[in-house]
Chains A and B, each alone.
Chain A
Amino acid sequence: MTTTIAPSPVLEASGVTMRFGGLTAVRNVDLTVNSGEIVGLIGPNGAGKTTFFNCLTGLYVPTEGKVSYKGTVLPPKPHLVTQAGIARTFQNIRLFANMTVLENVLVGRHTRTKEGLWSALLRGPGFKKAEAKSRERAMELLEFIGLQHKADHLARNLPYGEQRKLEIARALASEPGLLLLDEPTAGMNPQETRATEELVFAIRDMGIAVLVIEHDMRFIFNLCDRVTVLMQGEKLVEGTSDVVQGDERVIAAYLGEPFEGAPGDEEVAEVEAAAAAAEGADASPEAGDAPAAPADEAPAGTPEAETEDAETASPEADAQGKTRTEGDSQ
């Protein structure tokens, strides 16, 4: 199903299967991410996206299949995966809440520094040099995400959006070749989402490939060079935004398929007939029923309609979003 075979794949997952007892959360998924690429991973809730992520990063040991990074097979240990060059963020923010912003990023530098206990106790020139360099690099990253002025804040005191950014900075601190983002814009308002979009492009321009899970379709289709759709643990389709957007199976996965024999059609026809009748006769008894029927139908509306709604309501939502984040920070 892979569309293109690129010259330098960063990540190659082949035949990844993850079973929990009798439940197969991920079944035989192949995925390739090439250098300089942003790849999206979408799918309805429970499709196995995060499980697949955990298999990639060594948090889970896949039951079958293998994951390799730049040609070498990854050991199923999270810290070795990070050391190899894959960094990740988490779906529900997992910062070190009681450490400062700067310290969070410094922890991210762990694999790229060597100083052990002895050098910490003896505090030789090498230790000081390495520490100073780590700090410098961490501050650069904080500047990159625009949090340098909050370096000494506790991470838990940051507003939500900044916590998300900090998680990305912490992941970048490990100097990865591939960054895995698990729903980076969850809970963000449209402006923050746009800012994140730009941040991800900037990360790509740094030469880091990105694999991103997201439910925000606008975000995904703006951002990604390729999109992979997971459905019930299996890869449904993979391709460019247009291919995926046009794919019937994807629409079916998200919206459900029409039933055999279209059982809803009769009702729709009935309602339409009733509405027509109501229009014709001025004060007929059906007039009361008629407006109620389309209202029933509304929830089955397309997601595009919903996002459109969200879009038009955005100015207010932004204002609310802002006050909300401020409220959260306290």
Chain B
Amino acid sequence: MTTSTTKTTAPAAEQRGIVPLPAPFARLLVAVGAVATIASTFLAWTWDSEFPGDLTVTGYPAGLQTLALVAGALTLLYALAGYGIRGLGWLNPGGSNNPVLLAAFSAFAVVWYTAIAISYDLGGLANLEPGAVVAAVASLLPVVGALALPHPGRSLRDHIAKPDGIPAAAPLPSWAQRLIISLATALGLVVFTYGIGVNDEESETFIGLLLLVLFGSMALFAAGLFERFTELNARHKGFATTAVFLAAVIFPFTQSEDHNANLGANILIFGTVALGLNIVVGLTGLLDLGYVAFLGVGAYAAALVSGSEFSRFSGVQVPFWAAALIGMGASLVFGVIIGAPTLRLRGDYLAIVTLGFGEIFRITVNNLDGGSGPNLTNGPNGISQIPDLEIFGFNLGAAHDIAGRTIGRFGNYLFLMLLITALIVLVFNRAANSRIGRSWIAIREDETAATAMGINGFRVKLIAFALGASLAGLAGTVFAHVNYSVVPSPFQFAGAAPPNSAFLLAAVVLGGMGTVSGPLLGASLLYLIPEKLSFLKEYELFGFGVALILLMRFRPEGIVANRRSQLEFHETGQLDVPEQGLPDTTVGVTKAEA
């Protein structure tokens, strides 16, 4: 893993950077600027402690300054790696200058965003202490320096893209590979914990974190580290999955506030529902716009048998395993009822019909209040006061002391959801890598050809639809208990707060269709960002739209690309063109023909 970067950059050295500076000087400029940025985070940036994070203290960094410090350190590391210092070569296996630029830009973005936010929030540039000015200048230097370094071309793409042909990593002992996976997972946990721990009032810090994570991960991607890491992950699949679940188990212990565990539990609920939708949309290619109805069916089914006094069957209280089975069963039945007549349709027609059924569900439960219909769901008031679950004598509503930490109500539900997530991930993986999973993908790729290969399209699609529905129903049973009550309003197509079908669909598409980690990642991003940026709440749907448009333009395969896993470390020299290289149009044409 110690590829010398100076050697690999040498041939590209004829290409001058945009800023006309000699390369050695530029490199020095980056390093000096990075050091200065790090130093400046120890200064006071403003005098008013009103600004979130309290950046008034000279001596140690706080809030956004910590983020600037991390970005500065990243820049410094890449600057030093550019000098070919032994032991840092692994940082930049691709050997291009793009990661330096992106890292420098992450520091620049965080610092300048902070300075602008301070001036805006507190009313004027006068609120900036000299420390902020130092930081602003210091963070600009590495960007200028990095722009002076040679890049393959002049376009934006040449400055941010990952070079082709990342050399294979030097073979490491197995324990070292596992250690790297563990460290990366720990890093992920730290970032996630930091993000979720940001006070809801401190949107500024969260935006700073987003900037850092966005540009920082772009830098790591451009360096080729993501590629190598995916390779490692694929090699130690079981270990990597275990590490991620362990990290998720550790998470509640790191939180002093139960509120954050609530966010975690909700993320897992929506993540698992998105994973269920991924079977329908990502694997089978059926656009289901009313999927949230199945979550609702599961939630209502669980609420009805929960023993709540507002339930129609208020005397009935069944254990959780039975409630989960009832929820899944009810969703399954609804899935088949809705799927059987609609799955004969293709494409847009199916989308419209499922959209209609989703709305019908919401309107129906709204009206089953005894007035306009039989009393089953208590109408718009919903079923409230759902008691907490008790599993094997373990009351999920009460706080428990585990290993010296108090795990509150939401922490308990987080653990329960983790078990369910593990189950759903297992189901997804096993179903996808089997005869039935292959036939789903075949139907997504070309339904006519799939039927000509002997696949009973309708049957196979119905299985996907029913499986997706029952997984959503399972998540719905927990959803009902976590939120104390079930009301019809969240189960709509698009709304301000999740769950709604648009949210779930956006999570799948944004995260990456057909992958396991994609929808989970998408759901956490889409849930956390509006949660932490309270001023964005009214613009959430607008934000979804913008995010999806940008994504479709720049990364149509989603954040987590769905490549067949073997291909990633298969050195065949083939071009793996992302989705746009697909002869999609011809497929459409031939479909129309046959």
Contacts and interface: CB of A to CB of B under 8 A. Distances in A.
A98 interface: yes
B434 A88 contact: no
A110 B467 contact: no
A94 to B, nearest CB: 4
A106 interface: yes
Contacts of B442: 96, 99, 107
Contact of B564 (A54, A78, A100, A330): A100
Q: Which of B434, B446, B448, B575 has the most CB of A within 10 A?
A: B434
B446 A94 contact: yes
B190 interface: no
A303 B448 CA distance: 35
Interface in B441-485: 441-442, 445-446, 448-457, 463, 467
A131 interface: yes
What band does the interface of chain B fall in when counting residues whose beta carbon is under 8 Å from A?
A: 35 or more
Q: Is the interface of B mostly helix, strand, loop or mixed?
A: helix
B38 to A, nearest CB: 45
Contact of A111 (B441, B454, B564, B582): B454
Given A59-B594, A107-B453, A99 B572 contact: no
A90 B446 CA distance: 12
Interface in B356-405: none
A90 B589 CA distance: 13
Contacts of A134: 435
A96 B567 contact: no
A57 interface: yes
Contacts of A238: none
A24 to B, nearest CB: 18
B583 interface: yes
A98 B467 contact: no
A117 interface: yes
Interface in B542-594: 564, 566-567, 570, 572, 574-576, 581-583, 586-587, 590, 593-594
Contacts of B12: none
Given A96-B442, A120-B435, A174 B454 contact: yes
A246 B445 CA distance: 44
B446 A115 contact: no
Interface residues of A, number: 49
A97 B454 contact: no
Nearest to A174: B454
Contacts of A121: 427, 430-431
Contact of B441 (A96, A108, A170): A96
Contact of B453 (A110, A117, A154): A110
Contacts of A152: 564, 566-567, 570, 572
A90 B590 contact: yes
A157 B441 CA distance: 17
A222 interface: no
Nearest to B433: A120
A70 interface: no
B65 to A, nearest CB: 46
Interface in B181-223: none
A82 to B, nearest CB: 4
A77 B459 CA distance: 13
Nearest to A157: B574
A314 interface: no
B437 interface: yes
B529 interface: no
A120 B436 contact: yes
Nearest to B455: A110
Interface in A78-107: 78-79, 82-83, 87-88, 90, 92, 94-100, 103, 106-107
B576 to A, nearest CB: 7
B586 A92 contact: yes
B438 interface: yes
Contacts of B574: 153-154, 157, 329
A82 B454 CA distance: 5
5 contacts: A92-B593, A94-B448, A95-B446, A99-B445, A152-B564
Interface of B: 427, 430-431, 434-439, 441-442, 445-446, 448-457, 463, 467, 564, 566-567, 570, 572, 574-576, 581-583, 586-587, 590, 593-594
Given A82-B452, A108-B454, A156-B581, 19 more contacts: A79-B457, A94-B452, A96-B442, A99-B438, A106-B438, A107-B439, A107-B453, A109-B435, A110-B439, A110-B453, A110-B454, A110-B455, A111-B453, A115-B434, A117-B436, A150-B572, A153-B572, A153-B574, A157-B574
